[in-house]
Structure 1
Amino acid sequence: MKFDEASSKLCTFITPFVRFRLLRLPFGIASAPQVHHRTMYQIFEGIPGVDTSMDDMIVWVKIKKNMTNV
């Protein structure tokens, strides 16, 4: 998940040799799983037969042959 410019500047750290500015959300940040789940939920919200659980997408159908139509 890409950071906006302001967030990227806040997630900068310095080593003795170089300065690193993160461009994407790393999973080491405590809130990363919640941010990722919220985005997954927003993407798949309202699609019948689709649900999300953290970083997983759950798809279900009543008839097995309909699985290819979801």
Structure 2
Amino acid sequence: MPDTDRLTELEIALAHQERLAEELSDIVRTQAERLDRLERTLALLARRLAAAEDGPEAPAANAPPPHW
């Protein structure tokens, strides 16, 4: 195989690798953004749960109503 053909094939392979690296970078960025949103949502829910636990006690699910 002539050197020019080999060089062309290497350039093509490199172009594919660069495209793949860009696609993977985009995926990682998207996943990081999604993770950030999920962490913020989790923190909000944890604060709400803590506030609800600090509030008035809810009756137990199996407890009879107060008039019994």
TM-score above 0.5:
no
Which has more radius of gyration? Answer: 2
Q: TM-score scaled to structure 1, two decimals?
A: 0.26
TM score, norm. by length of structure 2: 0.27
Q: Which has the higher helix share?
A: 2
Whose relative contact order is higher, 1 or 2, with alpha carbons under 8 Å and at least 6 apart? Answer: 1
Greater strand share, 1 or 2?
1
